[in-house]
């Protein structure tokens, strides 16, 4: 039974994952290389919990108890010594992950499960150098990890059935919707679906069919409005498979089939316009508070989550 967890890496994903575990009642050791990273993470968790209080999801008392469950540390061996489940959330650099996994296998309990939050690497690549591959698994959370329900689980053929079962149970215990992939494919499920839609969205902008704001409106007030409750496969059933056969037969030949990132993204990256992190991307953020925009996003995610639960 999982009693204590450790999260390695306190960045955007790491602190959200730590919060999700702490909210569910688990003692969490949150590790990073420097105290300043951990203090920034603690502030982000406090702000997130305050929003949950404001939206009447948790009480002020629950907020304080959740914060008390998260212990910050720059000592890796101390962070994982008593952990039953360890989540790696460090940058997507394979050499860094291999180095970390070697340390985890040395410091962690023999029966501790080691999970990666990777969205890039196949699990076969991750465990190339592992001494005990049976206890490795992928739990791919989505940003913000404390709010988005989905977690994609990817196993290796060497991963034990016990590890798979315990991981699925743990994800449900912290309020997530786990999906176990039957095959390890690049991008898993969600990012493949997102990439396909993003490719077509940028293609439509490039072709002058609509501007970015109009494309986003179509998604938010049309497709996304429905997809919050009815998935694409259900949509096909509800619309009639004969109808969708005609739609796909007609559209498939003319959909964008480019093999690399859209030209508009390439152009923006070359200019250093990376989105909210630099103050400009497809949109300009010069005259607005990105922090307030993200706060509003999270507020809306919480309200949607409450609605879906009802």
CA 66, CA 178: separation in Å to the nearest integer? 23
Please give the DSSP secondary-structure letter assigned to residue 228.
Answer: T
| Residue ranges of the binding site | 9-14, 32, 92, 97, 119, 143, 277
Among the residues of the chain, which ranges form H helices? 12-23, 35-54, 60-69, 76-80, 94-107, 123-126, 161-173, 190-206, 212-218, 224-227, 232-239, 241-251, 263-270, 290-309
CA 133, CA 160: separation in Å to the nearest integer? 9
Question: Count of CB atoms within 10 A of residue 310's CB?
Answer: 5
Q: Give catalytic residue positions.
A: 119, 140, 152, 191
The answer to whether the CB of 180 falls within 8 A of the CB of 167 is no
Number of H helices, E strands in the chain: 14, 8
Residue 47: closest CA among 62, 61, 69, 63: 63
| Residue ranges of the binding site for NAD(+) | 9-14, 32, 92, 97, 119, 143, 277
> Quick one: residue 187, left, alpha or beta (phi over 0 = left, psi -120 to 50 = alpha)?
left
Question: Count of CB atoms within 10 A of residue 155's CB?
Answer: 19
Distance of CA 201 to the CA centre of its chain: 22
């Amino acid at each position: 039974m999982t009693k204590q967890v450790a999260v390695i890496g306190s960045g955007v994903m790491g602190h959200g994952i730590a919060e999700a575990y702490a909210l569910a009642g688990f003692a969490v050791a949150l590790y990073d290389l420097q105290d300043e990273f951990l203090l920034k993470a603690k502030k982000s968790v406090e702000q997130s919990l305050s929003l949950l209080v404001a939206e009447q999801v948790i009480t002020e008392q629950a907020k304080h108890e959740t914060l008390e469950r998260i212990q910050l540390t720059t000592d890796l061996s101390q962070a994982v010594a008593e952990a039953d489940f360890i989540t790696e959330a460090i940058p997507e650099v394979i050499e860094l992950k291999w180095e970390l996994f070697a340390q985890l296998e040395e410091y962690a309990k023999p029966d501790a499960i080691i999970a990666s939050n990777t969205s890039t690497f196949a699990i076969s690549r991750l465990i190339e150098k592992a001494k005990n591959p049976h206890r490795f698994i992928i739990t791919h959370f989505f940003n913000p990890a404390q709010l988005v329900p989905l977690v994609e689980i990817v196993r290796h053929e060497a991963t034990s059935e016990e590890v798979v079962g315990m991981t699925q149970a743990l994800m449900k215990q912290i309020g997530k919707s786990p999906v176990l992939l039957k095959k390890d494919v690049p991008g898993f499920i969600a990012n493949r679906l997102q990439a396909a839609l993003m490719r077509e969205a940028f293609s439509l902008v490039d072709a002058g069919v609509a501007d970015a704001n109009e494309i986003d409106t179509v998604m938010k007030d049309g497709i996304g409005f429905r997809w919050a409750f009815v998935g694409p496969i259900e949509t096909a059933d509800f619309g009639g498979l004969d109808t969708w056969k005609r739609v796909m037969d007609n559209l498939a030949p003319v959909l964008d089939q480019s093999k690399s990132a859209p030209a508009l993204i390439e152009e923006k990256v070359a200019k250093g316009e990376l989105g909210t992190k630099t103050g400009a991307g497809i949109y300009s953020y010069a005259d607005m508070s990105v922090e307030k925009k993200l706060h509003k996003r999270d507020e809306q995610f919480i309200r949607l989550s409450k609605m879906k639960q009802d």
